[in-house]
Each structure stands twice: as C-alpha cells, then as structure tokens.
Chain A
C-alpha cells in the first residue's frame, strides 16, 4: 500500500500525488540534504512520519516498514550485546511493540527514530539481560494540543546526519571502542576515557528543543 516515495515526506497529511515532489523540495532546505545517501536510512525523515502515522491512525503498513528496517538491527544489536538468537528475536518483537505503544512519546525535535529505537532496545537489554530496572527521567511530551515545528524536526535530522559523518570519520580504534561501549562491552569505568565525542552541535539543538517543549508545556 505504501511505497518509499509516497511515505517519504514529513508533511502532514501526506497526499498520494504531490508527496514525492514536496519531499524532494524539503530534502534541500537551506542547501543541506536531509538524507545523505540512499543507504543512510536512519536519517530519512520519513521514519518520523511513519511513527506519526502509527500514533495518529494505528497505521499497520507504516509499522510493517519500520519493522522491516529496524527489527533485524535490534536483533543484531541484542545478539552482539550477549543475547542468544532466540531471546534476541523475542526481545526485538517486544521492542517494536513498545515503539507502537509509545509512539505518542516520540519527539522528533530531540531524536531520530533510530535514536529512539536504540533507547528502547537498550532498556530492553538492561531489563532482560542484566535483570535490572532502568530508571528514566521524567517523561516530557508535546501532548495533543502542541506539535513541534517541522523546521525543528528537519534540522534535528540534519544535525544527526552530520554527527554520523563525524563519527564515521573517527580513527578505527576509537570507533570500535565507542561501539563496544554501546554494545555493553565496556564497564562504566572504562567508558571514562571515551568522552570528547563531537556532540556540541546536536547537544545545542536538543537543548533548544527542550526549551521550546518546556514553553509549550507551560
């Protein structure tokens, strides 16, 4: 029912005929492509729209596409983190079900869908593999009466794409250590030497998004 092109916009509501063109227009806002290459799927802004469609209309087709992309990555992540394949399969399904149930909490001005999926998968890993509770900060949500600005969503996608580029350009040894940290292979004491990542810009962007959210909440 939904193809790549007609889901590729973050405009709302998507209309079948003009959508692909408006996406191309959005893609070059302020001269920066929203999605670097065809392959760097996580920065494609349309995942944001997929989540919104799940939130607003319980759209199973949108969910199926998200599932196809993310579930195998979640499963690989959990296996790499020490899970056996059967448990990783089961947990990946649970992570995707959580995505469905918590769609209203996703804030595209502070995270890409890939980042958000990572946090759910990480919490599942702590819960299942480490058998530990995961305290999370007080939840902040835009709620039904306020929606984030589309431009803020686009800029966050762009910042994330730039972060990806910067991380990919790190020396191999440092990149591998970062991966080990996020796969849960480094203790919290070993992580101490891994700070100094190029996070300044995206951090400022998220900080601004939090200010706007606080303003909307008040």
Chain B
C-alpha cells in the first residue's frame, strides 16, 4: 500500500461507488485506487455505512416465501462458488486490475499506438471505457481536452502536467475545463489506468500522438 498518495478520489465518486451507480469502468478505477489507498477506502466504507442505514430503516420489509429459509440452506449446501484463481502478487497491478488483465503486468495485451506508446482496452461495459496506457519514459501526450470526465491513475512511474506531478496511486481527474499535456518522468516508463465516459478529443487536427519529449 502506498503511503505517499497526494491525489485522491472525490466524495461524489466514492458515494456513487458505494451506491452502485457508476459505470463498470469507473468501478474498476475506484476499486483499483482503494486497493492502494486506505484513506479513500475508509471514506468509501463510511459511505457503505449510509447504505447499511438505508437498507435497515426501510419502512416496509417484504416478507419472504414460507420455504425461503429451507431453499437458502439448500443453496448453501451446494457449496461456495468456485473462488477466483489465486493470482501471484504483482507489483504494478492491484488485484481488481489483475482480474481484468487475466494475470500480471506481463500478461497485458498491449497494442502499439505509435511512438512507443501502447494501450490495452479492458473488457468493461460500454457506457464508459477503461484502458491501460504505457508511456515511454520522457514521452509526452499532446495537448488534449476532454468531452466528459477522464480519470487517470498512475500504476508505475510518474507523469507531470500543468496541474501537478502524479505518481503511483495518484488520480488525476480531468473534465471539460482541463486542457493538458502530460509528460512521463524520464526515470521509468509510465503505466496508467485511464477511464473516461467519452472519447478523448485532441486539440490538433492531426493528432501527433505521444511525441517524444526528450531525445534520449
């Protein structure tokens, strides 16, 4: 667990996660961040407590059928569902991401999108997109704005933009108002999880994706 996370999730994202109303890609972002950040995990679990209250204080519980307890005991007798395969630890991918990648960082099926930059789209519901991004050390992502909300969390390395520097566990939340040019630190290749509920839009007519920032 990282102790140096500076950029956290917002209360409205955590409440929506607790209420269960986020698109799957955003759930994946929140679950991944919570795996690294106990501050946000505590906030998320306090929003769960609100849900516990809502469940508990409903005015009219609906009675179960007469045989429901017996049916449930029969269900229990069938045994627990097969547990997820135990995955070897991965220094880059927290457990929820490993489930989507099907293994560790070595199992990511990268596709090159030019200039050494690679991405891997993760299989989530279509109302939002989740992808892993690989940005070579020192490379830049060209100026771009956002149609919707885009969350980017660093898993390895770091990047900096007009807002701040973001390292492992940090989440940058970009909305319509932010135009930025993220640049990966030169020390290490940068791997991020990025989720968005709208396609990225690039400021330049022909996006020269991910120009090398430093000729190293």
**Chain A residues within 8 Å of B, Cβ to Cβ:** 40-42, 60, 63-64, 67-68, 71-77, 79-80, 85, 88-89, 92-94, 96-97, 100-101, 110-112, 114-119, 121-123, 125-126, 132-139, 160, 163-164, 167-168, 178-179, 181-184, 186-188, 191-192, 194-197, 199, 202-204, 206-207, 210-211, 214
Contact = CB atoms under 8 A, between A and B. Distances in A.
Interface residues of B, number: 64
Interface centre among B27, B31, B64 (most CB of A within 10 A): B64
Given A132-B24, A132-B125, 18 more contacts: A40-B56, A67-B64, A72-B64, A75-B63, A75-B64, A93-B71, A93-B75, A94-B75, A112-B52, A115-B45, A137-B41, A163-B49, A183-B54, A195-B11, A196-B11, A197-B50, A199-B43, A202-B46
Contact of B51 (A89, A115, A207): A115
Interface centre among A68, A116, A167, A196 (most CB of B within 10 A): A167
B128 to A, nearest CB: 10
Interface in B148-198: none
Contacts of B99: 135
Nearest to B11: A195
A121 B55 contact: yes
Nearest to B20: A122
A88 B42 CA distance: 30
Nearest to A68: B69
Contact of B56 (A94, A114, A126, A211): A114
B15 interface: yes
| Complex A-B, nearest 5 residue pairs according to Cβ-Cβ distance, in ascending order | A115-B52, A72-B61, A188-B16, A137-B34, A207-B42
B59 to A, nearest CB: 9
Interface string B1-42: 100000000111101101111111011101110110011011
B55 A181 contact: no
Given A71-B68, A93-B72, A191-B19, A203 B62 contact: no
Q: Is the interface of B mostly helix, strand, loop or mixed?
A: helix
Interface centre among B11, B32, B39, B53 (most CB of A within 10 A): B53
A64 B69 contact: yes
A178 B50 contact: yes
Contacts, number: 209
A151 to B, nearest CB: 18
Interface in B87-101: 94-96, 99-100
B58 A73 contact: yes
B85 interface: no
B54 A182 contact: yes
Contacts of B80: 101
A187 B21 contact: yes
B61 A207 contact: no
A181 to B, nearest CB: 5
